[in-house]
Structure 1
Amino acid sequence: MKISKEVKTGVLVILGIILFIFGFNYLKGKNLLESTNVFYTEFNYNALSTSSPVTVKGNTVGKITNISYDFKTGKTRVAFFVDEELKFSKESVVRMYETGLMGGNGLAIIVSDEGELAKAGDLLKSEVEVGLVTSLSRNFSGLSSNLDSTLKSTDSLIKSLNKVVNDQSEKGLKRTVEQLNETLKSFEATSNSVNGLISKNNENITTTLESFKKTSQDLALLSTNLKDANIGKTIESLNITLTNLNSVLEKVDNGEGTLGKLLKEEGLYNNIEAATKEMEELIRDIKLHPARYRRILSKKEIPYEPEPSN
């Protein structure tokens, strides 16, 4: 089958148009062969490359396509594409992490199901995960600073000790040693005095300790006797007695019973007082006029003789 010149010319024209469109977009920075499912994120610095992978839970789902510096915000804008089958919300976070000791950095999408689904061209939130190398670098940096400070302090201490050791004056190390010897001698004298005092009063101390021991035994015996005496029951009985006494006093105060009526009812008191006065008058009349009661007291009159006054 022969192809005519017109068909060949048409095919060449179409291919030329396609190549022109592709080349024009390529010169503008667009690659028509790449995926259009592109998203963006921003970092404060750049530690990535266009070959860095984009992963989800450790699985590669895309890669970085472009890295540029935003002169307005001063941040690094990273463009990356992912497989079109991957669905995640705008609340998802893009995390920059270390892929290994020698593997550089990569991006991981922390997928979130909350919120609206992300669309191509959206700007996602970002964060940076401190990797092993960065952490070790920071730790060694702090350790180095602390070690340097410790060495400086040690050097200052050694210099001070050298000054003390090299000082041969009375204010130096010799004077300090002399004072230390004097202190030890004073302590030794005090110790000897205490030992002598204890030796002289050994008998008194022994007697005191024995007396204290006997007193402790007596206290223990007294405690045992009190325990055996069942003081609890005695106190309980005393409480019952006091309660009954309070009840009786309360009844007396309320005018109940003979004693209560005697204390509260004035009529009974007045009657008793009147009867007492009449009894006194009767006894006085018997003493003064015993003849009136001769028949009652005796058949023979017995005259009344008052008692002699003392």
Structure 2
Amino acid sequence: MSKELKTGIIAVIIIGISIWGFNFLKGQNLLDSGSRTFKVEYARIGGLSESSAVTINGLKVGKVDNIEFDTSVEKRGHLLVTFIIDNAFEFSKRSIVKIYSPNPLSGSNLAIIPDYEGDMAISGDLLQGEMEESLFTSIGERLNPLQQKIERVIVRTDTLFGGLNKVLSDNTINGINTSIANLSATIIDIRKTIESVNSMVADNQENLKITIENTRNITANFSKVSENINAVDFKKIIDKADEAVGNFNEMSKKINAGEGTIGQLLNDKRMYDNLEAATGELEQLLRDIKLNPKRYIHFSVFGKRQLPYAEKIKN
């Protein structure tokens, strides 16, 4: 026999033993040809799971093999449980398969309550199922989902701590330590600043009191000024101002209408021309007095006769 053939035979034997051992650990003996399979239907299973034990009168005779939903229209949502019995114990089709919980710390199991009247049950039959309503069953029904949640939380916690371990490397820890040291130094500086501010406030406390007192006096003076302003009769002042404006408007109307001296002076062109002519003659007279003062002012001690006025002829 060649080495390759021996190696192949040994490999096949190892694979076969592995398959048998795996199923044996699951509670299924492949070498036992007396195994029978039954099905039972429930509206709810109360924490029952695959590999749960199947007992008859307290003796374990098999295990739950599969749990699936019923796909029929009439019983949609119901659960179809398939279990395997390795024991050759006989019972009728009228036997009841009840879900029960042996203790509050474990899941639910199946208990076959055997009946011996009628036809005997054969592999593949659908048996009648019931749910045992008890404290253990209720607690077990709630513990199974809780156990699954706790397992998921543990897995996530382990993942979280793994991520933290990756994040908290030596460089990161050194950076955190440096940041904490800087924060401590900053807090010390803040304390020093606060102490300086407190010292400054203590040194200038008297000045602050004086400043506050002055502020009070200023506020009081503003209050007095406000009272005086409130005491002023603004309506009377406004009425007088309105009256004065009305009088000025009336006077303007009269001036524009030519009434009175100012109105005639502003609106009568002849008076304006006469006034302008008189102003010109007066200007000539003043200029002549300035140029020939002897014509108008004469002093004589001996009584000399004044010469007649003769108009100077311009060249």
Give the alignment's TM-score, normalised by structure 2.
0.34
If asked which structure has higher relative contact order (CA below 8 Å, sep 6+), I would say: 2
Give the alignment's TM-score, normalised by structure 1.
0.35
Structure possessing the higher radius of gyration over alpha carbons:
2
